[in-house]
């Protein structure tokens, strides 16, 4: 009985810690829902896409590809590039798993690897407790999916000009993500500026302007990230700092 109470309390602790994460996710996913609506995605499709993806940049890239009708291959590659950081987080998280942790827990925990949930799990001492992780994940998952659904539904009810204006809010999220690290790191700042310049050129040059936006983002992501990795490799000491 004591073990059951401990497991229940551990789960509730995760729910408590996950609430502020979920509240932030709800606001962001509402803007994502507006973008999904403009891409012709239904409420049910948006809800389950958010529930099973849980990745802002990855979902935005996927919705953009749908809007441009760029094909499944582009969608897979775009989502993979936008979400590849989760591979590193997952590898780091497995180092904190109990070697005896069952496969079903490992499989379910993989669904809940986001930046904030990863940070909350890593911050706890000792092995990762699956029950805490489940509690941590449940509200963010529900609120993220519900925010996307609400954004789509509101997009169906609001006038087209208001929906178009609200769709700009998603760019505010990306600005909030890139500005802080760009202010601290000149290489990141250079990558951001290069992405602006090259994206503008791709949209204006006759030979390149015909490429759909999803493919353009994919090409530029590979070129800029690859060039930065070759020209400005991160030293091992700096990576562990």
Q: What is the pLDDT of residues 202-221, one digit of tens each?
A: 888 877 777 766 567 667 77
Quickly count: other Cβ atoms within 10 Å of residue 218's Cβ.
Answer: 22
Q: What is the mean pLDDT of the chain?
A: 80
Backbone angles phi, psi at 146, to 5 degrees: -65, -35
Give percent above pLDDT 90 in the chain. Answer: 14
Supply the pTM of this predicted model: 0.69
Q: Is residue 145 predicted with pLDDT exceeding 90?
A: yes
Which one, of 112, 159, 144, lies nearest residue 46 by Cα?
144
Q: Other CB atoms closer than 10 Å to residue 191's CB: what's the count?
A: 19
What tokens appear for 10 in the block? 């551990």
To the nearest 10 degrees (0 to 180), the angle between helices 56-68 and 169-184 is 130
Q: Which of 69-78, 111-120, 230-239 has the lowest mean pLDDT?
A: 230-239
Mean per-residue pLDDT for 163-178?
Answer: 61
In the predicted model, is pLDDT for residue 241 greater than 50? no
Average pLDDT estimate for 106-123: 85
């Amino acid at each position: 009985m004591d073990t059951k109470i401990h497991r229940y309390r551990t789960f509730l602790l995760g729910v408590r810690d996950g609430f502020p994460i979920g509240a932030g996710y709800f606001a962001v996913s509402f803007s994502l829902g507006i973008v999904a609506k403009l891409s012709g995605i239904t409420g049910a499709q948006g809800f389950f896409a958010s529930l099973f993806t849980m990745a802002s940049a990855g979902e935005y890239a996927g919705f953009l590809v749908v809007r441009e009708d760029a094909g499944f291959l582009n969608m897979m590659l775009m989502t993979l590039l936008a979400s590849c950081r989760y591979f590193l987080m997952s590898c780091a998280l497995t180092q904190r798993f109990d070697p005896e942790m069952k496969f079903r827990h490992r499989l379910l925990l993989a669904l809940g690897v986001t930046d904030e949930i990863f940070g909350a799990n890593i911050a706890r001492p000792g092995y990762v407790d699956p029950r805490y992780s489940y509690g941590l994940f449940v509200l963010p998952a529900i609120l993220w999916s519900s925010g996307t659904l609400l954004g789509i539904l509101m997009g169906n009810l609001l006038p087209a000009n208001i929906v178009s204006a609200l769709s700009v809010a998603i760019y505010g999220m990306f600005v909030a993500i890139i500005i802080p690290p760009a202010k601290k790191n000149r290489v990141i700042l250079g990558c951001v500026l290069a992405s602006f310049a090259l994206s503008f050129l791709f949209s204006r040059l006759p030979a390149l302007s015909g490429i759909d936006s999803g493919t353009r983002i994919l090409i530029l992501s590979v070129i800029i990230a690859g060039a930065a990795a070759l020209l400005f490799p991160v030293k091992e000491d700096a990576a562990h700092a």
